[in-house]
Amino acid sequence: MSKPATPPISDAESQVMERLWQRAPQTAEELAAELGTAQGWQTATVKTLLNRLLNKGAIAAAKDGRRFLYRPLLAREDWLGEQATGLLDRLFGGSLAPLVAQFSSQRRLKADDVAALKRLLQDYENPKEAKKP
């Protein structure tokens, strides 16, 4: 059985999620203090984004006295994977090689990037060797 699709998360909502993935649980006021400085958002904006994320099932809220503590339900790795797959599908027809070619034509690949790509290919071609300690 395949995993359920992650809910669509806007760029603004992803800023809230990033803060929760870094540290959870947090209150709306704590998030607003961080995001207000970084994004120039008011507390009301952060609360609106939190409400949207709650409705999408991406986060949970637990009552703590007169406030709520928010934590992510959506794993960052799952969201990143879906975002990467969506980008690959939309822009490159699901093919990875044109994506790498596009990046390498726009920016010179660093030696460590090339080495990492080679390791990925080796691990893909020899999965049993990749699992060895």
- 106 and 54 fall within a common domain: no
pLDDT of residue 68: 98
- The candidate with the shortest Cα–Cα distance to 56, out of 2, 15, 17, is 17
State residue 18 phi and psi, 5-degree precision.
-55, -40
Opening angle at CA 45, ends 49 and 32, nearest 5: 90
- Of 72, 88, 109, the last residue of a domain is 72
pLDDT of residue 133: 57
- 31 and 53 fall within a common domain: yes
State the number of CA atoms in the 13 A half-sphere of 33 facing the CB: 4
Q: Give dist(CA 77, CA 79) in Å, integer.
A: 5
- 84 and 118 fall within a common domain: yes
* Residue 114, both tokens: 């090339």
pLDDT of residue 70: 98
Share above pLDDT 90 across residues of the chain, in percent, rounded to a whole number = 58
pLDDT of residue 98: 87
Regions in the chain scoring below 70 on pLDDT: 1-4, 129-133
pLDDT of residue 73: 97
pLDDT of residue 31: 97
- 85 and 118 fall within a common domain: yes
Say how many domains are in the chain: 2
Which domain covers residue 61, as residue numbers? 11-72
